[in-house]
């Protein structure tokens, strides 16, 4: 199993920034990519960003491109989501997720179904 713990959520004003952290532990050798998802009240969980543990491949949802940046620290088994220029519509519970799947096309990492472990989530609230 892969255990994932998110942190760094909170309340911020529109235009502000937050950095979320995802700590991975357990069988991380079974983890090939880490994704961030979010779920707002009454809505389905949606893809935000993904990064592979090796190489420089990242992928973003169109709604966050240019505002969010995903990065990792291999030595610490940590993945980060830097969120800038936050908007009220970014308000959601943010989850990190692990997938063992290997795809040449990073587009496939947007699919929730390929992730087999999710963390408990961290709340992000953006006030207008």
Write out pLDDT tens, residues 109-123.
Answer: 999 999 999 999 999
Percent over 70 (pLDDT), the chain: 100
Each residue of 28-45: pLDDT tens digit?
A: 888 889 999 999 999 999
- 3-class DSSP state for residue 77? coil
* pLDDT, averaged across the chain: 95
pLDDT(53) > 90 = no
Helix (H) or strand (E) holding 112: none
| Structure confidence at residue 75 as a pLDDT band (50, 70, 90) | confident
Confidence bin at 55 (pLDDT 50/70/90): confident
Nearest to 118 by CA among 92, 99, 91, 103: 99
Distance in angstroms (rounded) separating the CA atoms of residues 35 and 55: 15
What pLDDT score does 106 carry? 85
What is the pLDDT at residue 22? 97
Q: What integer pLDDT is reported at residue 43 of this predicted model?
A: 96
């Amino acid at each position: 199993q892969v255990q994932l713990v998110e942190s760094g959520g909170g309340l911020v004003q529109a235009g502000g920034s937050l950095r979320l952290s995802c700590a991975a532990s357990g069988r991380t050798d079974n983890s090939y990519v880490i994704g961030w998802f979010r779920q707002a009240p009454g809505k389905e969980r949606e893809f935000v960003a993904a990064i592979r543990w090796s190489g420089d491949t990242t992928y973003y949802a169109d709604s966050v491109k240019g505002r969010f940046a995903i990065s990792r620290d291999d030595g610490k088994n940590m993945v980060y989501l830097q969120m800038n220029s936050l908007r009220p519509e970014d308000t959601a519970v943010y989850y990190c997720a692990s997938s063992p799947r290997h795809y040449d096309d990073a587009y496939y990492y947007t699919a929730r179904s390929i992730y087999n472990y999710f963390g408990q989530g961290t709340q992000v609230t953006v006030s207008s």
